[in-house]
Structure 1
Amino acid sequence: MPREEFQRQLDTLRDDVVAMGDLVLTRYDEAIEAAATGDSERAQRVIEGDADVNERYLELEERCTQIIALQQPVAGDLRLVTASFKIITDLERIADLATNLAGYGHPDRGIHPDIDVRDLAGDAGEMVAMALEAYEDEDPEACFTVADRDDALDERCERASKRVVRGLLDAQATRTQTVDRDDAFAAGLDEVSRALLTVRDLERVGDHAVNIAARTLYMIETDDALLY
Structure 2
Amino acid sequence: MPRESYQERLEELREDVLYMSEVVLERFRVGLDALEQKDEELAWEVIEGDDEINQMYLELEQDCVDLLALQQPVAGDLRFIAASFKIITDLERVADLATNLGEYTLTADRDMFPEVDIQGIADHTLEMIEDAMAGYRDEDTDACYQIAERDDEIDERCEDASEAVVRDLIEREVGDGADETEIEQLMNDVSRLLLTIRDLERVGDHAVNIAARTLYMVENDDELIY
**Residues 222 and 200 of structure 1, relative CA distance in 2, 3 Å threshold:** same
Match of 2:174 in 1: 175
Asked if the contact 2:108–2:189 (Cα under 8 Å) also holds between the matched residues in 1, the reply is no
Between Structure 1 and Structure 2, how many residues are aligned? 225
Q: Give unmatched runs, 5+ long, in structure 2.
A: none
**Residues 185 and 211 of structure 1, relative CA distance in 2, 3 Å threshold:** same
Within the alignment, does 1:136 sit opposite 2:128 as a pair?
A: no
Asked if the contact 1:35–1:110 (Cα under 8 Å) also holds between the matched residues in 2, the reply is no
With normalisation by structure 2, the TM-score equals 0.95
Match of 1:89 in 2: 89
- SS at 2:104 equivalent: coil
Q: Deviations over 1:73-123 (max 9, x none)?
A: 000000000000000000000000000012223543256423222111111
With normalisation by structure 1, the TM-score equals 0.94
Q: Alignment partner for residue 202 of structure 1, among 200, 203, 214? A: 200
- Residues 144-163 of structure 1 correspond to what in structure 2 (within 5 A)? 144-163=145-164
Asked if the contact 1:37–1:111 (Cα under 8 Å) also holds between the matched residues in 2, the reply is no
Match of 2:224 in 1: 226
Match of 1:114 in 2: 115
Q: Give unmatched runs, 5+ long, in structure 1.
A: none
Match of 1:68 in 2: 68
Q: Deviations over 1:165-204 (max 9, x none)?
A: 1111101xx334x131755433321111010000000000
**Residues 137 and 111 of structure 1, relative CA distance in 2, 3 Å threshold:** farther
**Which amino acid in 2 is paired with 1:63?**
D
Distance 1:31 1:62 in 2: 28
Distance 1:49 1:79 in 2: 31
Asked if the contact 2:57–2:88 (Cα under 8 Å) also holds between the matched residues in 1, the reply is yes
Match of 1:10 in 2: 10
Distance 2:51 2:79 in 1: 28
By how many angstroms is 1:151 displaced?
A: 0.4
Distance 1:48 1:187 in 2: 26
- SS at 1:104 equivalent: helix
Distance 2:122 2:41 in 1: 20
Match of 2:101 in 1: 101
- What is the RMSD computed on CA atoms of the aligned residues? 1.4
- SS at 1:161 equivalent: helix
